[in-house]
Amino acid sequence: VMGCDFRAYWIGTFIADYIIMMIPIGVMWLTWFAGGMSDFYAGTSGLNFFVLLLFNVHLISFSYFFSFIFANPKSCISLMPIVIIMLMITPSIIILIITQILSSAGATISPSAQGGILLWGIMILSPHGALLSALLNTTQNFSSLISSFPPVGAVIAFQIVESIAFLSYAYHVDSQSVAILEPEEDPRFNPAVLSRLDEDVAAERERTLSTIGGNEPLRVERLRKVFPPK
């Protein structure tokens, strides 16, 4: 039982997670400037900073999504590394299958096209793959070697769309587990007992009730002492 508004709880949790995730991002930014890596902080018109900010949102929403996919928290923690690795290598497996099918039909896919499919695949399936696709072309121009290289704009678009989808699903599922407690009258309460209260108890009761404004997130009243039988 908590008196915190559900939306406030979610916003607070997300902000706390985002602040924690900003620590390694801040260290990465410092290394860019300390190492004179101008390709990272000046290239792509500074979009690399925005990509990393979105990466935090993308990764947090990705984590929230899978936290509701697993029924057991321990299973989620232990299996998520395997899930992430599988998502990263799934495009390679798909390319291999397609290549074998086309090969049996007498057709082929160029290596540059395979590279493009691979990058688009890992970008769509994993936040880590999206970050890799966004930063891969920073220091070297791989566009001449890989056809259909994912542009930074496409990476940002997928980060935003997938983050919204992941967060929406997690928020909806979590909201289903919240029970709204409506104020109810105790059917066993006998108002006649109030007339038999000691003066000091009655005065304390009136003093306590006078401080209640009706907007409390959680209010507990009319408690009774129940003594076990001797």
- pLDDT per position as a tens digit, 212-224: 666 666 667 667 7
Is residue 58's pLDDT more than 80? yes
* Identity of residue 153: G
pLDDT at 67 over 70: yes
Closest CA to 147 of 118, 126, 170: 118
Residue 1 has a pLDDT of 44
Separation in Å, CA 94 to CA 80, 89, 121, 141, 185: 21, 9, 9, 25, 62
Share of the chain above pLDDT 70, in %: 92
Cβ burial of 150 (10 Å; 0-12, 13-18, 19+) is buried
Over range 66-87, report the average pLDDT.
89
Q: For residue 164, give the nearest of 74, 58, 82 by alpha carbon.
A: 58
Q: Is 169 exposed, middle or buried (0-12, 13-18, 19+ CB in 10 A)?
A: middle
Go through 180-191 and write b for each residue having 16 or more CB atoms within 10 A of its CB, e for each that does not. Answer: eeeeeeeeeeee
Percent of the chain at pLDDT > 90 equals: 35
Which structure tokens are listed for 204?
């304390």
Alpha helix positions (H), the chain: 6-34, 38-41, 47-69, 73-104, 111-125, 127-136, 152-176, 199-210
pTM: 0.73
More confident residue, 192 or 216: 192
Query: pLDDT tens-digit profile of 169-183?
Result: 999 998 888 777 676
